[in-house]
Chains A and B, each alone.
Chain A
Amino acid sequence: MEETNRQVPVTVLTGFLGAGKTTLLNRILTEQHGKKYAVIVNEFGEQGIDNDLVVDADEEVFEMNNGCICCTVRGDLIRILSGLMKRADKLDAIIVETTGLADPAPVAQTFFVDQDVANKTKLDAIVTVADAVHLSSQIEDHHEAEEQIAFGDVILLNKIDLVKDENIEVVTKRIRKINPFAKIIKTTKCGTPLKEILNLDAFSLKRILEVEPDFLESDHDHEHDDDVTSLSFVSDTPLDMEKFQNWFGKLLQTKGQDIMRTKGILNFKDENDRYVFQGVHMLMDASPMGKWPENKKRSSRLVFIGRNLDTMNLKEGFEACKSE
């Protein structure tokens, strides 16, 4: 394929009802002077978006016929992005606002699955706006709120002016338990420098090398079995590539529905290159990313976010991939 045009970055804005998505959207649109944005909104969304290129979307989610039940994509997004790429004026960025009850996975998966979309646009980051006042109860009551936290690359913890400091701590901890690698930004009225949320390139493999996730001790005493949690593993012992591929491939194939996001840097025995990967459910992007830096210790790091992680024997599986 010819790759003459640059890929237009796409930012996905997600967040539960009333968290402040529209406030953030309008902030982006009014503060970025001279930039050309397309905004894709859903027809039931809040009104009042100040932009001359607003496209209504239907949030039509469908399953791909590739034998994978968790591989759902946004059909409307494929159609709209293809249409936008035919425009005469070149767009600086595209922003997709999802409904408050949307699962972000199909949006992310669309960029893995459709070749034309992947050639001409790239998923820049998933930005989740969370309501500091109500997030804890929303997570308890609605699995969508939990999923939106799990998928976020950036989480804007908004409305902190309405919450006591100690409660902000509690909410932050709750977010961290679900998602250890998102950047959390505490805001009032979504006030944050735009460079913190745009052009992050969060889905590029290169970025994974730069962002160190917080490796918290995994906390296992959760109240529900279907809670979204994260688990991370580190090993200085080189891994056996074949063993790892077998284990990981099978794991995604059988548990891909429960595993929402994965990221990792891998140190394989007898390989000079670092291997980096990131995935959304069963879909994965992986590649060698150059030699290990001379001054850095070679170690493998692996993070999972998902449901029922403690039933998957992840620790045992990972240990068994060690080459010694």
Chain B
Amino acid sequence: MTTDLNQFPELDKTKFEQRGIQLEIGVPVTCAVSIGNNIAAGFGDGTVRIFSSREKHKTLKAHKGVILCMSRDGNNILTGGDDGYFLKISLNGEINEITNFGSRWVDHVAAYNGNLVCSSGKVVYYWDKNKKEPKSLNHDSTIGGLAFDAKGRRLAVSRYGGVTIWKKDYSNKWKSTKLDWKGSHNKVSFSPDGKYLVTSMQENVLRCWRLKDKLDFAMSGYGSKVKSFAFISDTSYLATSGAIDAICWPFDGEGPMGRKPICLPYIGNKQVTFIEPFPDEKAIFAGLSDGSVFLSQIENENNTIIIRSFTGSEVSAIAMTDDKSSIFIGDMNGNTLWTSIWDQ
């Protein structure tokens, strides 16, 4: 499955495109997540499409406007939109309204083990799985991102000026601690081992905190805003977009301080705009600003294959099924590819 980087027949269809299903939907793909061996993708016209290996994809009219965010909750997906709705959608297409904020957008959603979270403006709403009414967690500025840790015990909320970490104490009361750093923090994530917290900022930089001693440091040198990042293979690497290479910071041992990242180059000098890990492997899917998508091994840059060729539009979503058999790719012009990864 390997090809030399310099020998790509750039305009030809890849074997993945040849055997997969390609659609030109004409509406931006805004998000995609796996549900078992299916993929749910959200679009700029409020539709959700569910792709599965056995049948033709299903199209659901879910929101009235843009689907801004999506998260998996067991066998359901959660979506938030610019129509103010926070919805739960099942695999067979049943749509349930959790709440609706009117003209206020639902910017971020997350879930852990049946507990549901969304943010709208400066407030995070948390639905305990046993309760009907949400608990409101207030912040001084608009929320840039939400993330649970791997055990669902802590909820990180990024905002202007840093991150607030929420946790329930023994008497079931919400307690927060703050990690401060000047500036606007967007996407946030705990490392899978729970030792680090990373945010991407409005400036072309990532900020990282080592949680045991709150030591913080920057990961910088990017040519543009880091819109996508993911921890790889437990916590071996943090792979990031924002440059013409996929930048992979080592997080094993003592972490990335004082160490150089691995830079995975791609043909064409286009910006990497989306990163999706290949589960359990030291490998990533990297989506570029021209629509092409590559699969690379982090520790062997020669082991890179092209999955999708140029479409002319920035890759905005990539998701792989739980059984690691198929992937979904979408871009800002609504070109999608749904294909199996393995040769038959």
Contact = CB atoms under 8 A, between A and B. Distances in A.
B226 to A, nearest CB: 12
B38 interface: no
Given A75-B202, A79-B107, A86-B28, A62 B160 contact: yes
A114 B289 contact: no
B41 to A, nearest CB: 13
Contact of B182 (A58, A63, A116): A63
27 contacts: A1-B289, A2-B313, A2-B314, A4-B313, A4-B333, A56-B103, A56-B104, A58-B121, A58-B122, A60-B142, A63-B182, A64-B183, A64-B203, A65-B182, A65-B183, A65-B201, A75-B184, A75-B202, A79-B107, A83-B66, A83-B105, A85-B28, A86-B30, A86-B44, A86-B68, A87-B65, A88-B45
B30 A58 contact: no
Interface string B5-38: 0000000000000000000001110100000000
Contacts of B300: none
B160 A75 contact: yes
Contacts of A4: 312-313, 333
B225 interface: yes
Nearest to B105: A83
A116 B103 contact: no
B290 interface: yes
B82 interface: yes
Given A62-B184, A79-B107, A114 B68 contact: no
Contacts of B99: none
Contact of B225 (A79, A85, A115): A115
A315 B314 CA distance: 48
Interface of B: 26-28, 30, 43-46, 65-66, 68, 82, 103-105, 107, 121-122, 141-142, 160, 182-184, 201-203, 224-225, 271, 289-290, 312-314, 332-333
Contacts of B333: 4
A227 interface: no
Nearest to B46: A88
Given A2-B289, A85-B28, 7 more contacts: A4-B312, A56-B104, A63-B183, A65-B182, A75-B202, A83-B105, A86-B28
Contact of B290 (A2, A66, A88): A2
A55 interface: yes
A88 B44 contact: yes
Contacts of B184: 62, 75
Interface of A: 1-2, 4, 54-56, 58, 60, 62-66, 73, 75-76, 78-79, 83-89, 114-116
Q: What 8 A-B pairs are tightest by C-beta distance, nearest first?
A: A88-B45, A88-B27, A86-B44, A86-B28, A86-B66, A65-B183, A88-B44, A65-B203
A131 B105 CA distance: 34
A79 B68 CA distance: 11
A12 to B, nearest CB: 20
B66 A62 contact: no
Contacts of A89: 45
Contacts of A63: 182-183
